[in-house]
Amino acid sequence: ARSCTTCDKVLAELEKIDDDTDTFGVDFVKINDKRLAKQYGIKTFPALTYFREKEPIIYD
């Protein structure tokens, strides 16, 4: 597996706020799946995608 320094930095920051977001029912899931990325139109990595009522919102 290739290393992604930016991905690691983003993941570390998300882990810092994970307990706080649990309070609001927000879960973080780390996925490394090209098929899912294509399905949701994700073209750059790392990518943050928020699902609201099953609809994805991709943050640039």
> What digits encode the pLDDT tens for the residues 28-54?
888 889 999 999 888 887 888 888 888
- pTM of the prediction? 0.60
Which tokens hold the place of 28?
């973080």
- For residue 58, what are the β-bridge partners? 49
Phi, psi of 15 (to 5 degrees): -65, -30
Task: Please determine, for residue 1, whether its predicted confidence score (pLDDT) is greater than 60.
Answer: no
pLDDT of residue 53: 87
Neighbours of 53 (CB within 10 A): 4
Integer Cα distance of 53 and 35 in angstroms: 21
Confidence of residue 2 (pLDDT cuts 50, 70, 90): low
Structure tokens at 44: 């750059």
